[in-house]
Structure 1
Amino acid sequence: MYVISILLKIAAQTYLLKVLLGQTYNFFFFIAAQPILWVIVAAMLGASYVALASALSWDPRIISWVIIAVTILMWPPSRPNGYSKEEIAQFVEEFYGEIGIGRGRLKYRLGVLAFALCSGTAYLLSF
């Protein structure tokens, strides 16, 4: 029963953090068209999540798994079969270009990496 409660905590926290990170992505990346600001917000979100978990004395094992799971879930999916890497990259860049964001793929990945690195650094400093 203890394992089930841990898995439920990981699942719930992962879901909430992924939704929060996704909504900041929608707001800052698409609506405000400020991808660099999203990178900063993603980094601050990761660090503040770990700081809150530390202040509330949550289990560090759960926090580490949540950070890993959110980073994996937010990472862009692999390319579909039948398309080359260049075709997918061109399609995605055209999509971002239509909304006025240059090098959108890179900026998105930087945001996810900033989230992972800042939350990982905060984790090492807090626990």
Structure 2
Amino acid sequence: MPDDKPRLTDDEQRNYVEALETLPLLTRTVFLLASRDSFPYAEIGWRCGISVDEVQVRVADALLGLDRHMRVRPTFIGRIRRALLPWRDAWATARAREGDRRLAPWLSPQKRPGRRSAIDWIAWAFEHTLR
């Protein structure tokens, strides 16, 4: 019976092994037990001494790490940043229009730093994510 799984080329196989070697030992072990050996998560957790939730996190981390290492196109974060560019421009326009007084009061030279509101923290996180 023919195998329906797509085969990797030699370069892809080398890249895959390289990507596996970049993962932390426990993450790599959990991923290989789940993907190659098809163990249930409960058994993997028992063998590795971690919870089933931790097994799920480790498998997800491994998949993200492998994807990050093997992908040649833009990363997930890069695609998000590109999708947010129009929102970033609109935010910059609104800040310029408001003179940083309403949206970010701690940046205004007339006001002393005060207690930040939730929107200020969101603005700070948004700006630092896009840098």
TM-score interval, smaller chain = under 0.3
* TM-score with structure 2 setting the length: 0.25
Q: Work out which structure has the larger RCO, using CA pairs closer than 8 Å and 6 or more positions apart in sequence.
A: 1
Which structure shows the bigger proportion of residues in helix conformation? 1
